[in-house]
Amino acid sequence: MRFNVALARPEVYLEPGFFHSTSDDIVISTLLGSCISVALFDPIIPAGGLNHFMLPFSRLPEKDALSDSAKYGVNAMELLINDMLKKGGKKARLRAKVFGGSTVIGLEREATFNVPKMNIDFIFDFLDRERIPVDAYSVGGTMARKIHFFPVNAKVLMRFSRGPATSLAHRESAYAHRLLEETHNNGKPILF
């Protein structure tokens, strides 16, 4: 864990596909393009967690929340929620803030539909279905977002990143392709 001098706290930086939750007074940060980050907070512990994920895009349009790609979103959310429960959180107390889903990379070239919109639709649909209230959000647009999340009080500092998004685009694109591979080769069921 590195130390963020400006924010005077240890900092955990999330690469695409990762999540972190804690009741420690640290800062969890990430840089988002078309991916989504959800900050979850349990005010009673208090503890918070952040993830950074996207739905794998298939070339087939998949509209509903039960599609194979939506299952990956559900899974990304469940991993974070379960991590919060292990820290003593209660699902019924969780509150959310949602970020990301901007159009910074040329994913349109690779899919027949709008990837950022699919990610945004998915997450609001999911949170609504799981009855997790959304306290704040900043989604869409064309600029990358830098997020700093303070897990002990749910505060988020967000700024738009105007810099060249080439390396971000590269990382998110690599992540999207990794996911696509995983959708074909995921876990083998075990029978005891």
Partner 1 sequence: MGASILIVDDSVSIRQSVRFILEQNGYTVFEAADGAEGLKRLGEQKVQLVITDVNMPNMDGLTMVKKIRETEGIKFVPILVLTTESQGAVVEEGKKAGATGWIVKPFNNEKLIETIKKVIP
Piece of the chain touching partner 1 by CB under 8 A; list 8-16, 77-85, 94-102, 148-156: 77-85
Closest separation in Å from C-beta 175 to partner 1: 15
123 φ/ψ angles, rounded to the nearest 5 degrees: -70, -40
> Which lies closer to partner 1 via its Cβ, residue 109 or residue 192?
192
126 scored as a contact of partner 1 (CB under 8 A)? yes
**Cβ atoms within 10 A of the Cβ of 133, count?**
9
Closest separation in Å from C-beta 181 to partner 1: 13
User: What would the DSSP string read from start to end of 34-84?
Assistant: SSEEEEEEETTTTEEEEE-B-PPPPSS---STTSHHHHHHHHHHHHHHHHH
71 scored as a contact of partner 1 (CB under 8 A)? yes
92 scored as a contact of partner 1 (CB under 8 A)? yes
Single out the residue of 70, 120, 123, 156 in contact with partner 1 (rule: CB under 8 A): 70
Q: Which residue is listed with tokens 């929620």? A: 81
Closest separation in Å from C-beta 36 to partner 1: 15
> Which lies closer to partner 1 via its Cβ, residue 164 or residue 187?
187
Tell me the C-alpha distance between 41 and 155, whole Å: 10
Single out the residue of 63, 75, 106, 170 in contact with partner 1 (rule: CB under 8 A): 75
159-190 b/e with 16+ CB inside 10 Å = b?
eebeeebeebbebbbebbeebbeeeeeeeeee
Tell me the C-alpha distance between 183 and 49, whole Å: 25
Tell me the C-alpha distance between 135 and 152, whole Å: 16
* 14: three-class secondary structure by DSSP: strand
Q: By rule CB under 8 A, what string of x and - marks binding of each residue 129-148 to partner 1?
A: xxx-----------------
Would you put residue 100 in left (φ > 0), alpha (ψ -120 to 50) or beta? left
91 scored as a contact of partner 1 (CB under 8 A)? yes
Closest separation in Å from C-beta 16 to partner 1: 16
45 scored as a contact of partner 1 (CB under 8 A)? no
Which residues of this chain interact with partner 1, rule CB under 8 A? 65-66, 68, 70-72, 74-75, 77-79, 81-82, 85-86, 90-92, 126, 129-131, 183, 186-192
